[in-house]
Amino acid sequence: MAESSKAVSLTVEQEQPEAKPPHEGLFLVLTYLPVYEVVLMSQVCTSLRDAVNNDILPWLNVTVEWPLNWRLNDEILFKVASKANGSLKTLTLISCTRVTDDGLQRVVEQNPLINKLRIPGCTGITPEGVLRAVKTLCQKSNCLKTLSINGIYNVQKDHLDMLIMNLRKNQPTEEQQPVYYHERGTLSVFKHEESQRLIDLDICPRCSEVRMVYDCPREPCTRKEWPLSPCRGCKFCIPRCENCGGCIESGEVEEGACEDIFCLECWLQLPKCSFCNKPYCKQHSNWWCTSSDSSLICKVCDENSHGYTYTDVL
């Protein structure tokens, strides 16, 4: 009886079809994935592993974000960038605080063809380090086309002027596209060239500080304060709705459960907590908790009802 069952199982194993290699289009997708997802894809099958290890295509656009950003240092960055064999096109580092001026400069010198440099929140890099990297990339005709440095400390007007001067060396002067508050932080290799700004920072026309300056998406803007001047400024000068990016009058600010602010129109349309009657913005919509009767509860109210905080169990 045992011998017959073994024969049956052996027959079943022999009848199983061989695994086929992944579709060719999947290899092209690797170019648009962050480093973390590229590493995960390399563990799927032998073909993808070989493509990740031996082909430069997945490494032409390097994006490092959470959860790898806190582990990335100068040495690891150099090893990752080296996989492009000097042909790196896009370098995006999101809040990689352990990367320094020297680490960035080493990668830039190794990859002179970089045309998009995005390092927002990389607080280990100084304005002087950014300027040195930009000068290196703008020495040749293949000039840097996009620079994102929001979140780097102590960027002054002099730094901004020098950066713009270098960025415009080999590029025609074009009108910059507007920046909307609710679209900030959307860094993607899928964006068309014409939709990308030369540099993300600007001088606020109201406080004269070097910051992200946002435009109003409403046409026309109905703001009653400063009616004769453009509705343009940093987030400290003009409060804006987290959901639509529109400006908010001082007496119309509505607060969400995530402590972001909304205009009255968006606040009325968004789903709200059953206890505190506050909504979540789109960015924090995954923070909702569900009660036994399937109603929505925000994290704060859920913590209060159970007597603990989420940080206690993490």
Structural domain includes residue 3: no
Domain that holds residue 118: 60-183+194-228
Whether residues 106 and 202 fall in one domain: yes
Whether residues 74 and 220 fall in one domain: yes
Number of domains in the chain: 2
Contacts of 149 (CB under 8 A, 6+ apart): 119, 120, 127, 130, 155, 199, 200, 201
CA distance 238 to 91: 31
Helix boundaries (H) for the chain: 2-15, 24-29, 35-41, 46-54, 74-82, 101-110, 127-137, 157-167, 264-269, 299-306, 310-313
> pLDDT (tens digit, 9 = 90+) per residue, 250-293?
777 888 888 888 988 888 888 888 888 888 887 777 777 876 66
Structural domain includes residue 40: no
Residue 176 main-chain phi, psi, to 5 deg: -75, 140
Whether residues 151 and 273 fall in one domain: no
> pLDDT (tens digit, 9 = 90+) per residue, 206-255?
999 999 999 988 877 766 566 567 788 999 999 999 988 988 887 778 88
Whether residues 151 and 103 fall in one domain: yes
Each residue's pLDDT, cut to its tens digit, for the chain (314 residues) gives: 555 555 444 444 455 555 566 666 666 777 788 888 888 777 777 777 777 777 888 889 999 999 999 999 999 999 999 999 999 999 999 999 999 999 999 999 999 999 999 999 999 999 999 999 999 999 876 678 899 999 999 999 999 999 999 998 867 666 778 889 888 766 554 454 444 788 999 999 999 999 999 998 887 776 656 656 778 899 999 999 998 898 888 777 888 888 888 988 888 888 888 888 888 887 777 777 876 667 888 888 887 777 655 444 33
Whether residues 213 and 288 fall in one domain: no
Structural domain includes residue 36: no
Question: With contact defined as beta carbons under 8 Å apart, do 271 and 290 qualify?
Answer: no
Structural domain includes residue 243: yes
CA distance 144 to 132: 13
Structural domain includes residue 122: yes
Structural domain includes residue 27: no
- CATH value at residue 300: 2.10.110
Whether residues 204 and 178 fall in one domain: yes
